[in-house]
Structure 1
Amino acid sequence: MKLPTKIKFFGWLLHHERLNTRAFLYRRNIKSREDSSCEQCTGILETADHIFNDCPCAMEVWHRIKINMRPGGFRQPWSLWAEVQLPDSVQMDVIVLVLWQIWKARNALIFDHKLPSPSEIIRKALDDLTSWKCRYKDNKEAIAIWGDYLYSCL
């Protein structure tokens, strides 16, 4: 993975179930159960599974980009597959970028009271991919193909 350190760290936290979701904060006695629900889906405990898999916004993102997201699959992005033929060499990086943008959308809803649309989430992942393509000198063609594909999903 050639992503920036902050995104690699996010991926590590996600993989090890250490993201500060409301459910995680509840388990650590930092939040009450009443304050541990998803901001968008009232009454549903905000777990990582919910944020990245079950929340309607995330479900729509995965549907649009045709990534077969199965329960808990976000913890192992290397095991996911796209329903379309795209280069495997950078697929995990692209999936982690999308996960990162879903997380940032969740934070925007909580802290800024703004809910980015699935198109905005995909657009921001595409912007990140474009910004960091210089990190992929050996995979320029794969990055370009993925970039074109994400653009087509908007």
Structure 2
Amino acid sequence: MEDLRLCPFATPDGKLHTAPLYRLLLAAQGPSTPIAKFVWKNHAFFASLLVQGRIQTRDNLLKKHIVDSACCEVCGRAPETATHIMFECPFAAAFWHSLGFDVHGATTAALDRIHRPGHVPTQSFETLVLLCCWQLWKRRNGIIFRGEDMTQRQVLIACKTDADLWRHRIRSKDRVVCDRWCTLFSMAM
């Protein structure tokens, strides 16, 4: 018997359209923080998955029987969890250290509890952390899927580029924050 169920998020031939579903989910949740409007949508979705531990790390893929090992393909030293990729992997730890952050004991489930160094602006601090996590995730994916091993300097340049792009999305009186982020990334290079 043919399946006659209807889905408002599918085309008549049964293909799922995820964009309307994503918009519905966002509308139901509403902005989780005052900075949510400031962050680009793909970054906000990434942040949501990150803090919930739902990004597609090897430990999550192992639970789904997609991979045979949870070992981090970047460093080969530990299981690849979201927290490992963002804070514990040697590259990530060195990256944060270059920015003056102490991320020892930091977790992705508690991004809002990361200690803010004194030289980093208080305003939109969580967004800065998210920007850095986004670039670390992109670096990991570049290594895994394209064989691109970005150096720390290249990741810092990518962070600075994003900060400069975000600068144009916020009120002019708040742009000084992005300028300070750009300076932070430049000084770490």
Same fold by TM (over 0.5)? Answer: yes
> Whole-Å Cα distance in 1 between the matches of residues 183 and 106 of structure 2?
27
Identity %: 24
Q: Deviation digits for residues 48-104 of structure 1, max 9, x if unmatched?
A: 121112111101110000122132433333222233332211211111010000000
The equivalent residue for 1:91 is 125
| Correspondence for 2:179 among 135, 144, 149 | 144
Computing the radius of gyration from Cα coordinates, the structure with the larger value is 2
The equivalent residue for 2:152 is 118
The equivalent residue for 1:133 is 167
1:16 is aligned to 2:28: no
1:153 is aligned to 2:188: yes
1:30 is aligned to 2:63: no
Judged with a 3 Å threshold, the aligned counterparts in structure 2 of structure 1 residues 93 and 43 are, in CA distance, closer, same or farther, namely: closer
Higher helix content, 1 or 2: 1
Structure 1: state its 5+ residue gaps.
none
**Which of 1 and 2 has higher RCO (CA within 8 Å, sep 6+)?**
1
After the TM superposition, which parts of structure 1 deviate over 4 Å for at least 4 consecutive aligned residues? none
TM-score by length of 2: 0.75
Judged with a 3 Å threshold, the aligned counterparts in structure 2 of structure 1 residues 139 and 78 are, in CA distance, closer, same or farther, namely: farther
> Whole-Å Cα distance in 2 between the matches of residues 122 and 75 of structure 1?
23
Q: Which amino acid aligns with 2:185?
A: L
> Whole-Å Cα distance in 2 between the matches of residues 63 and 83 of structure 1?
11
CA RMSD of aligned residues (A): 1.5
Q: How many residues align?
A: 152
> Whole-Å Cα distance in 1 between the matches of residues 158 and 144 of structure 2?
18
> Whole-Å Cα distance in 2 between the matches of residues 146 and 61 of structure 1?
15
